Structure formats: structure tokens, C-alpha cells
Amino acid sequence: MGETAVAEAREAPGKAEVAFDRLYRTSRDDVYAYVAGMLRDGPAAEEVTATAFERAYRKRHRFDPGRGEPRAWLFGIARNAALDELRRRGRQTELATEPADLDGVAVEAGAEQAERRLALRAALAHLAPRDRELIALKFFAGLDNAEIAAVLGISESNAGTRLHRAVTKLREALDGSI
């Protein structure tokens, strides 16, 4: 859903729904994985994901393509919905070490893959919540640095710098656990 789709959506009411449907279909799994990583609770992540899409749908006419990409806008809404849920629970914002695995580990996965997964989980657990969120946005949600910057409300270069530092810390933690 690029700028053209948003401009078309403003001209014809039916096109807004088509553009939003496209955004939903291309982003729903990534939004769920990101929210599940924040909440550490599958059913709550489903609820918050639905809430985020409902909010985005209601606000779809307010989207400004001059301020960023639709996915970044959507992830900002999802982040706020997840933080609302955490505040509602009265819990500290503590990100999970790894988002929920949507497909599960294949039965034929070898011991080596399982060992790597455990090492990654342990390394992620050693990162600060902010670093885990950056890793989740980049690698689990698939956002680029500009989209991450828009979600977090920071500059693109700052997002890149923070992400580089988080990945470096993750590598160091992995090197220590292997």
C-alpha cells in the first residue's frame, strides 16, 4: 500500500477498503509476532492484534504518506495497543526473549537446530528490553530502518545505530553461550 494506493483510497471510498485489506493481509502475521513478543501471551496477542487493526481501520483516512510507510504507521499503532495492554495489566514493559513461534518447530528438526534455538533464546534474554524490541521489529516483523524509526519516533540513523548495537550485543551473547 504505497502513496498511490493511499491517494486513490482518498478519492474513492471503496478503494480505501481494498488498500486496507492489502495492508492487513501482508502485515497480520508480522504484527501478531511482534505483539506476542511484547506480551508473552498468545491469546492476549491475538486480542491486541485485532485491536490494532481495528484502530488502524478507523484511522485509515488520517494516514499521511508524507510521514512514512503504511506498515510503519500500523506497527506504531500495534506498539501503542500492546503498551496499553501492558499498562492495563499493571505489568512492567518486559519484552519476551522471542516472539511466539507461529508454525512450531518441524518434527524433523535436528538437535543442532534445537541447540541453536536455545542459544538464541538465552542470548536474547540477556539483552535489554529496548534491544529485544529492536531485534523483534527488524527480524521478526521484517521492518526496515526507516519503518523502525517511524514506529519508535526516532531518526532513521538513530534506529540504524541502535539496531547495530543491539545486534552486536546479541552476537557477543551468542559467542559467550556457544
Whole-angstrom distance, CA of residue 38 vs CA of residue 27: 17
Higher pLDDT: 118 or 7? It is 118
Q: What phi and psi, each to the nearest 5 degrees, are found at residue 132?
A: -65, -40
pLDDT in tens, 68-97: 889 889 999 999 998 888 888 774 444 544
Q: Which residue has the cell 503504511?
A: 70
Nearest CA among 46, 35, 45, 25 for reference residue 141: 35
pLDDT in tens, 124-153: 888 888 888 888 888 878 888 988 998 888
Q: Which residue has the cell 503498551?
A: 83
Q: Which fold has domain 3-100+109-177?
A: Rna Polymerase Sigma Factor; Chain: A (1.10.1740)
Q: Is the pLDDT of residue 4 over 90?
A: no
